[in-house]
Homo-oligomer: A and B are copies of this chain.
Amino acid sequence: MTKLLVRISEQSRQFSETEKKISDYILNHAELIPNMTTKELATKADVSEASVTRFVKKIGVGSFKTFKITLAKEMAVKESFITDFSILQKKDTPYEMFQKVVHVNKNAIDMTMESLDKKELEAAVEAIKGAKKLVFYGVGGSAIAAQDAVVKFAKLGFEVEFNMDFHYMLSRIPYLNENDVFIAISMSGKTKDVLDMMHVAKSYGAKIIAITNLDKSPLYKKADIRLATPTVEADFRIASIASRMTQLTVIDTLYVSIFNQIGERMLDKFHAARDHVIRLRR
């Protein structure tokens, strides 16, 4: 805890009921305070605005504004004590939601650093670099990552394919061969459609890269190369958003790595494409 917060909790036994309500809220939601107004804090703590301004004076801070700035500074230093962001409260305002989303997403991306294996990543980059055709497949939330991958790798000149439709996608698999790569994306690694598609692709000799949770799922076991995403344990309402960030981070890494290695020889085409877009679209 920061000095200011310590001071508050030390003094708390001399507080009146109203003051205690305020200090409770502050101690439990310290990181939100710098972006709040007296009115908001008053509402949250169920006291009047006047009591809030009086409170900060009581704990020896000149004004509410100073209080906010001081708190922001102190909290910046010691970072990481985030009061249970995993539980979304019914009464949370959109801005609080925003702060939680930011936290959850940053955290998810951080966790990817722990799950993704260096060697597997290198193998994946090699495989894609040498590939003629790339097929991505994912359903539901993972379709977004697949979609994103298509946009990116198409720009690099790859023959890329992805379609949400299982049957259409299936009809394209027989054209794959040993030179091609099939990238399966699934959080759980158990999604039937993805597994089925993967088996067919494998039977045609395509190399299988799985972007899936670090877990002994069917997809994880059967893939040639495993790019593991972390299992982000959280409230079910935000579980999918965090995991999508991890998938995208993996895709981004593949894209940037490939770009870096083969980019030079197609930089003019890349720029040409971008120029066309700018000229025609704005």
Contacts and interface: CB of A to CB of B under 8 A. Distances in A.
Most chain B CB atoms below 10 A, which of A105, A110, A193, A264? A105
A4 B146 CA distance: 34
B139 A118 contact: no
A282 B101 contact: no
Contact of A256 (B76, B238, B277, B282): B238
Interface stretch (A14-22, A44-52, A66-74, A207-215): A66-74
Contacts of A188: 282
Most chain B CB within 10 A, of A72, A113, A190, A238, is at A72
Nearest to A66: B35
Interface string A117-134: 010011011000000000
B69 A256 contact: no
Contacts of A141: 151
Interface string A252-282: 1101110110011000000000000100111
Interface in A201-219: none
A68 B141 CA distance: 38
9 contacts: A88-B260, A93-B122, A94-B118, A94-B121, A98-B113, A98-B257, A101-B252, A188-B282, A191-B281
